[in-house]
Amino acid sequence: MCKNRRNIYLIHICLVIACNYGLFFGVPRILQAVPQQEKIIRLNLKQCLERAVEKDPEMMAKNADLGIAEAQYLQALSMKILPKFELTNALTVAPGVNIINENLLDLETRNNWRQLGLFNRLEVSFIQPIFSFGRIRGGIEAARKGIEVREHGIKKQRHKITLRITKLYFSRLLSKELLALAEEAMSTVEKAENTLTELLKEGKNPDLNEADLYRLKLFKVELERMKREININNELSISALKSSLDIHEDEKFDISDEFLEARPHETLGIENYFELKEKCRPEIGQMNAALAAQKKLSDVSFSFYYPQIFIGGGTTLSFTPIRDDINNPYLKDPFNYKSVFVYLGISMPLNFRQTRARVIQAKHELNKIEAQNTAIQKAINLEVQKAYLKHLEAKKNMEEFQKALTISREWKMTEQISFDLDGMNAKDLVDAVQAYLKTKASVFQAIFEYNVSIAELEYVTGTLGNH
């Protein structure tokens, strides 16, 4: 008894030592041996859209254009108050004066170029417009409309990015679903192949032959080909997303969603979509703003037929210490001179032919924008109608394929059960699996096209990304 206790005690000590050794020596080595998981970037659709807009170089250029337009607007505003307000300071040297008979007005008085001194001239001038016959006001309004044109351009570019990224995102989800479907079909076929192989080895059923086994193997080859094709499309969609999101090729990236599901959407009448595009489509707002800006520029060009009334003024101070100042209003020394003046001025270009040509040019530019606006309106109406009909078709296809999927699933289950019982219907099982595979793939494709049709319908109405 004592011997058994002693053995148990020794075993306990050994276990404690082993545990301590493992704790202090083995565990760190095990932890060091476990490879760290490679970091992968996962983003949902909203995050992808935000990053794509932020990283898009064209969007950066559009923002720069907006900054330029805002600066031009500030320049136009500055024409209202002191558009000309200048200060000029000249610093050099000037000659002294040889005074004859101590009389500065003596006719023999001359400049002394051997005696040079500091000379400084300060000039300040300004012009303040009073009435410009709409020239300044029209320029300000045209510049303000120019800002609106750029803002609509930014919105248009954002919609383009959103549509592109949305298509790529759903394309990646489609690849995921199709790959999982191919794996499911492969599992079913491999199970059937194993079952049929065992039945052939047993030889209990003389009606079985190897033709059914070859049929299953050929179907497996076809599934492998489909998987490779899906993987290629998957890699292309991932690469396109990484490029749009400015993610380096060496970095691991994937979307965070796993399943492709139909987007919730309430389909409206086509009249509602026509109303939406008038309110929200950036191209329409852009053309309307451009049209308003050109109208103001036409008014500005016509204002050159009228004079510009303004107040001008300034001061001039010339100072040379080595020369005496002559305080005689009838005599002027350019090296020592002071003057202050304010006047009412009128400015008017007299080259009326040039003014007329400018007015004609502005009129034709206005007609051009009006014609472009009409063409864009017609093109957008056609886009809305086309997108609406495509959406209705995609919705109908999705509903019909989902009904067909229920039928093909029941057929597959029936043939699977029958095959598991006797292995006699390998051909029927392959046909059922093929029909199920094709139908379910069509369902995923229909869901993809339905989601894309919603995005395209929102794009042509200008509501994409507004929710």
pLDDT in tens, 360-371: 999 999 999 999
In angstroms, rounded to a whole number, what is the distance separating the alpha carbons of residues 224 and 231? Answer: 11
Residue 27 lies in a domain: no
Give domain status of residue 22, yes or no.
no
Among 89, 92, 94, which residue's Cα sits nearest to residue 333?
94
The verdict on 118 and 196 lying in the same domain is: no
Q: Considering the domain boundaries, does residue 24 fall inside one?
A: no
Q: Let me know if residue 176 belongs to a domain.
A: yes
CATH of the domain at 71: 1.20.1600.10
Token pair in block for residue 373: 């606006």
Q: Is residue 159 part of a domain?
A: yes
Q: Where are the beta strands (DSSP E) in 224-275?
A: 252-255
Strands 110-131 and 308-319 come out as antiparallel
Is it the case that residue 35 has pLDDT exceeding 50? no
Boundary-marking domain end, from 347, 368, 403: 347
Q: How many domains does the chain have?
A: 2
Q: 403 and 317 in one domain?
A: no
Residue 12 lies in a domain: no
253 phi/psi in degrees, rounded to 5 = -145, 145
Q: Are 116 and 151 in a shared domain? A: no
159 and 243 belong to one structural domain: yes
Q: Are residues 455 and 332 in the same domain?
A: no
How far apart CA 317 and CA 336 sit, in angstroms, is: 8
198 with 314, same domain?
Answer: no
Is the pLDDT higher at 182 or at 10?
182
Q: Does residue 268 sit within a domain? A: yes
Domain final residue, candidates 347, 372, 397: 347
Considering the domain architecture, whether residues 153 and 208 belong to the same structural domain is answered as yes
3-state secondary structure 391-446: HHHHHHHHHHHHHHHHHHHHHHHHHHHHHHHHCCCHHHHHHHHHHHHHHHHHHHHH
pLDDT at 422: 63
In this model, does residue 3 exceed pLDDT 60? no
Q: What is the pLDDT of residues 258-269, one digit of tens each?
A: 899 999 999 999
Same domain, 284 and 240: yes
For residues 338 and 123, give the distance between their C-alpha atoms in angstroms, rounded to a whole number.
Answer: 10
142: nearest Cα among 14, 303, 282, 258: 303
| 5 pLDDT tier (thresholds 50, 70, 90) | very low
**Together in a domain, 416 and 456:** yes
Reported as a pLDDT band with limits 50, 70 and 90, residue 182 is confident
Q: Do 233 and 301 sit in the same domain of this protein? A: yes
Asked if residue 416 belongs to a domain, the reply is yes
Model pTM score: 0.79
Among 327, 347, 367, the domain boundary falls at 347
Are residues 126 and 261 located together in one domain of the fold? no
Closest CA to 76 of 315, 237, 253, 293: 293
- Residues 456 and 50: their CA atoms lie apart, in Å, by 19
Domain that holds residue 107: 84-131+308-347
Confidence of residue 207 (pLDDT cuts 50, 70, 90): low
pLDDT tens per residue across span 286-304: 999 999 999 999 999 999 9
Nearest CA to 437 among 182, 225, 220, 214? Answer: 182
pLDDT tens, position by position, 422-462: 666 677 877 888 888 889 999 999 999 999 999 999 999 99
| Cross-strand bridge partners of residue 120 | 91, 319
How large is the average pLDDT for residues 175-186? 89
Verify that 339 and 217 share a domain, yes or no.
no
Nearest Cα to Cα of residue 335 among 41, 93, 8: 93
- Could you tell me which of 430, 392, 395, 393 has the C-alpha nearest to residue 411? 430
Query: Which range among 21-30, 97-106, 163-172, 174-183 has the greatest average pLDDT?
Result: 163-172
Q: Among 119-128, 339-348, 382-391, 431-440, where is mean pLDDT lowest?
A: 431-440
* Token digits of residue 334: 């350019």
CA–chain centroid gap for 345, Å, is: 50
User: Residue 186: how many CB atoms within 10 A of its CB?
Assistant: 18
Q: Which long-range contacts (CB under 8 A, 24 or more apart) does 41-46 make?
A: 41/247, 41/251, 41/252, 41/253, 41/254, 42/253, 42/254, 42/255, 42/256, 43/245, 43/253, 43/255, 43/256, 44/255, 44/256, 44/257, 45/165, 45/166, 45/169, 45/255, 45/257
Segment 41-92, tens digit of pLDDT: 899 999 999 999 999 999 999 999 999 999 999 999 999 999 999 999 999 9
